[in-house]
Structure 1
């Protein structure tokens, strides 16, 4: 902010402003998203409006919110028709300075979420060069000074739909997943936003989901949106017997079956062969994921050496153990 404006802003008296004169929709200086007004309303009801918002004459007869968007939103929800505010004259301050008033006012009092960071960077980009933003403002937002990071955060605000924005803020999807979704078509993002509202994927599962959807779509020629809207997906999503994490595992299994039909069949054959051995319950034979390793693993759980010896003797006498081989070899 131009230092010449600080005395002007600071000495402005607060005047009573009718709510009807204020543009309440998010405007060019707004940098608040995904907030809860309950505590703020309680504060206003208990102690009044201690810090008057700052407004700017638009030149068209109405007033734009410079700072205090949340406070004004709380006042409106409380049914207030007037509130004290400091009003800046349109011809005495540049819009960039008005934006920076709000930025530094918020920077001193709270953390910005990813969408808010995108709102800030997008608004700064209307007045400043990329180099200016990277050199100064990225570090203030706790971000690395990279152009790709700048572009990603601006896109969080401008590209993601409301469902995905909320999913990002509440932790339903990670920032890595949000970045990956930026490169998808609008149709694909909409299909996946609906998926994320019904199913809980952890971070690793989100990565697997995107990779499997992409690969399966490329191989099959079926769009991601069509896959998600298909009957097998719908059966899982509409299932009343599975919770959200269980649905995530079921969807990933479905996609692996679609993506790797040969390996899926091999896994089924392998499990059948192991089942036919009738191993003691303390013994398990496992294959590596997708049979990536040429070796199989046997796990034995035992309480003491005597039990271990007994289990080994049982294994030695199991018919068919010596016939174990890769599931794609031999007849079933």
Structure 2
């Protein structure tokens, strides 16, 4: 590109608020900051002239790290790009970044939404979506459109990997107060990814089934599982939502506990029901430390009559 030149500039000349090339979002790693403190920038960032100062085309993380390091002077590659060639500059920045790292979900969403303004449908299908690993189906298009509309707090949680992309599909229809309640829950409990998705899924199912806001089952469940210090027991919360969503679980658990009590199994023999009593197999285990304990356990198991086993396996 013959319109590029290398020059010095001050960080104060760079417009850090401009997001024309949205290739970075999230915290700057301390490792990058320390690296720049020790050896400086090994690769100049790419900038473009603008009325409000230089736009960052590529290298925002490095420039942010410089700013946090207290450095002001920086060597950059400067582009004087005609309006019609912005597409090529965007493409260059995309592949420069991809050569060094993968984008987090928020970066992917921001880049994709900006690309929608610049590239044709054919270019998006042929190059941009594959580069960003965005499948062609409509639901993925909607997913990444939704992310750009999330609050800053929610976007930060997504960029940090606390909320995953499957959860995005579930909370896409939630309003601001519902999303605010979810953010408060995450802050209080430290829930993340798989367990968080499970909670979100059950809240969404309960809200749809009962035609209420997700805030209602969430508030009720949290109130019932707070310990003496007022903290939320995460596992108890998950179980409470499961029982609320599947009322038969409480009855099934109580019946199984009663049948188990009638068997009077010794402490070293453990009989477990199928998960959630939804099909599956019962599991029997016992522990022993010598031959005598082994024999005692076997004798006890042999003494259980088949009628008792039928009773245990009965779902009625």
Tell me the TM-score normalised to structure 2 length. Answer: 0.80
| Cα deviation code 1:212-256 (max 9, x no counterpart) | 2233223444421233234x40464676597x8xx3321111112
Q: Which residue of 2 aligns with 1:3?
A: none
Is the aligned partner of 1:179 residue 2:172? no
Match of 2:62 among 60, 68, 71: 71
Tell me the TM-score normalised to structure 1 length. Answer: 0.77
253-262 or 82-91, larger mean C-alpha shift: 82-91
Q: Secondary structure at the match of 1:33?
A: coil
| Cα deviation code 1:171-218 (max 9, x no counterpart) | 333332233333433433332233233335576544542342233223
Q: Which residue of 2 aligns with 1:228?
A: 218
Q: Which residue of 2 aligns with 1:28?
A: 20
The 5-angstrom pairing of residues 49-64 of structure 1 reads 49-58=41-50, 60-64=51-55
Is the aligned partner of 1:271 residue 2:257? yes
Report the number of matched residues.
314
The 5-angstrom pairing of residues 93-112 of structure 1 reads 94-112=85-103
Q: Distance in 2 between matches of 1:276 and 1:238?
A: 32
Match of 1:190 among 172, 175, 180: 180
Q: Secondary structure at the match of 1:49?
A: coil
Q: 1:66 to 1:241 in 2, by over 3 A?
A: same
Q: Which residue of 2 aligns with 1:218?
A: 208
Say whether the 8 Å CA contact 1:270–1:327 is kept in structure 2. Answer: no
Is the aligned partner of 1:283 residue 2:269? yes
Shift of 1:328: 8.0
Say whether the 8 Å CA contact 2:26–2:160 is kept in structure 1. Answer: no
Q: 1:327 to 1:95 in 2, by over 3 A?
A: same
Q: Distance in 2 between matches of 1:149 and 1:122?
A: 12
Say whether the 8 Å CA contact 1:29–1:98 is kept in structure 2. Answer: no
Match of 1:257 among 238, 243, 266: 243
Say whether the 8 Å CA contact 1:53–1:68 is kept in structure 2. Answer: yes
5+ residue gaps in structure 2? Answer: none
Say whether the 8 Å CA contact 1:168–1:174 is kept in structure 2. Answer: yes
5+ residue gaps in structure 1? Answer: 1-5
